[in-house]
Amino acid sequence: MTSTTLYGLPNCDSCRNARKWLTAQGIAHDFVDYRQAPLPAATLQDWSAQVGGWKTLVNRSSTTWRNLPDPVKNPQTDDDWLALIAAQPTLVKRPVLQTPDGVVSVGFSEKSYNARFG
């Protein structure tokens, strides 16, 4: 990976805010719409490991999560989580930021981005 990459959805306010912040700071970045370009299982597993697990990577307060049937909301294995995200890619918290060193973070706040890039 040679540049900073922001993963998310183009109409997501948090993703738009993160993109604006990166641009304003002069940080070159690529944007990947993960609904249009589904993520490989290995990438999702790496992200989950880096951010502290599936429960951190998946937005369990989202409308998408709340509308899932209760039995689906209790994945037990990596494969269960991966199948859930494959079926509902919008469950991944947004945005996911990956810097050239491979380090990943989820969500956007000016404070966290200032700390990360400061």
> Which residues have a catalytic role annotated?
12
- Joined together, the tokens standing for residue 54 give 């599936």
Q: What is the rounded distance in angstroms from the CA atom of residue 56 to the CA atom of residue 20?
A: 24
Alpha helix locations (H) across 1-118? 13-24, 41-51, 54-57, 63-66, 78-87, 110-117
Only one residue has tokens 């956007």, namely 108
- Joined together, the tokens standing for residue 83 give 């199948």
Q: What is the rounded distance in angstroms from the CA atom of residue 39 to the CA atom of residue 86?
A: 8
| Residue partners of 71: CB distance under 8 A and separation at least 6 | none
